Chains A and B, each alone.
Chain A
Amino acid sequence: MQANVEKNFFELFGLPVGFNLDTADLAARYRALQRQFHPDRYANATDPERRLSLQITAQINQGFQTLKEPLSRGRYLLALQGVNTDEETDTRMDPDFLVEQMELRESLDEARCSAQRGERLARLARETDALLRARTGALGSSLAGGDPEGLRRARELVREMQFLKKLAREIEELGEVD
Chain B
Amino acid sequence: MALLQISEPGQSTAPHYHRLAVGIDLGTTNSLVACVRSGIADTLPDGEGRHLLPSVVRYLKGSDPLVGDEALAAAAEDPLNTIASVKRLMGRGIKDVKRLGGALPYEFAPGESGMPRIRTAAGLWSPVEVSAEILRSLKRRAEATLGGDLTGAVITVPAYFDDAQRQATKDAGRLAGLTVLRLLNEPTAAAVAYGLDKKAEGVFAIYDLGGGTFDISILRLNRGVFEVLATAGDSALGGDDMDHAIADWMLRQAGVEVSADPHGARRALRDARAAKHALSQDEEAAVRVTRPDGSIWQGRLTRGEFQALVDPIIERTVAPCRRVLRDAGITAFDISEVVLVGGSTRMPRVRERAAAVFGRTPLTDIDPDRVVAIGAAIQADILAGNKPQDEMLLLDVIPLSLGIEIMGGMVEKIIARNSTIPIAKAQDFTTFKDGQTAMAIHVVQGERELVADCRSLARFELRGIPPMVAGAGRIRVTFQIDADGLLSVSAQEQTSGVASSVVVKPSYGLSDAEIERMLRDSIAHAHEDNDARNLREQQVEADRVLAAVESALAADGTALLSPAERRGIEQELARLRSLRDGTDVARIRDGISALDRATREFAARRMNEGINKALAGHRLDEFG
Contacts and interface: CB of A to CB of B under 8 A. Distances in A.
Interface of A: 1-4, 12-14, 25, 28-29, 31-41, 43-49, 52-59, 61-62, 64-65, 172, 176
A173 B425 CA distance: 27
B603 A58 contact: no
B393 A172 contact: no
A6 to B, nearest CB: 11
Contact of B604 (A3, A14, A34, A39): A3
B393 A1 contact: no
Contacts of A41: 393
B606 A49 contact: yes
Contacts of B393: 34-35, 38, 40-41
B2 interface: no
B596 interface: yes
A52 B604 contact: yes
Interface in B356-401: 382-385, 391, 393-395
Contacts, number: 129
Contacts of A28: 618, 622
B395 A34 contact: yes
Best-surrounded residue of A4, A13, A40, A52 (most CB of chain B within 10 A): A40
A4 B391 CA distance: 25
A47 B322 CA distance: 42
B420 interface: yes
B521 interface: no
Given A12-B611, A32-B614, A32-B618, A58 B323 contact: no
A24 B483 CA distance: 25
A57 B607 CA distance: 11
Interface stretch (B77-85, B271-279, B543-551): B543-551
B423 A34 contact: no
B620 to A, nearest CB: 11
Best-surrounded residue of A38, A41, A44 (most CB of chain B within 10 A): A44
Contacts of A43: 181, 382-385
Nearest to B610: A36
Interface string B526-552: 000000000000000000110111011
B547 A44 contact: yes
A40 B607 contact: no
Given A44-B547, A48-B603, A4 B608 contact: yes
Contact of A46 (B322, B420, B599): B599
How large, as a class, is the contact surface on chain B? Answer: 35 or more
Nearest to A2: B604
The 6 closest A-B pairs by CB, nearest first: A48-B603, A36-B614, A3-B607, A32-B618, A58-B424, A44-B385
Interface of B: 181-182, 222-223, 225, 227, 319, 322-323, 326, 382-385, 391, 393-395, 419-425, 480, 482-483, 544-545, 547-549, 551-552, 595-596, 599-604, 606-608, 610-611, 613-615, 617-619, 622-623
B600 A48 contact: yes
A35 B422 contact: no
A52 B607 contact: yes
Given A3-B611, A43-B383, A176-B322, 7 more contacts: A4-B608, A31-B222, A31-B227, A37-B614, A44-B547, A49-B599, A176-B323
Contacts of A46: 545, 548-549, 552, 595-596, 599, 603
Given A38-B393, A40-B394, A62-B425, A1 B548 contact: no
A2 B323 CA distance: 40
A31 B393 CA distance: 9
B482 A39 contact: yes
B419 A61 contact: yes
A172 B608 contact: no
Given A43-B385, A55-B424, A56-B607, A65 B419 contact: yes
Contact of B423 (A3, A45, A61): A61
Contact of A47 (B323, B425, B596): B596
A36 B611 contact: yes
Nearest to B392: A40
Contacts of A47: 545, 548, 596
Contacts of A39: 422, 482-483
A80 to B, nearest CB: 17
Contact of B483 (A40, A45, A48, A52): A40
A44 B615 contact: no
Given A37-B614, A58-B424, A172-B326, A44 B604 contact: no
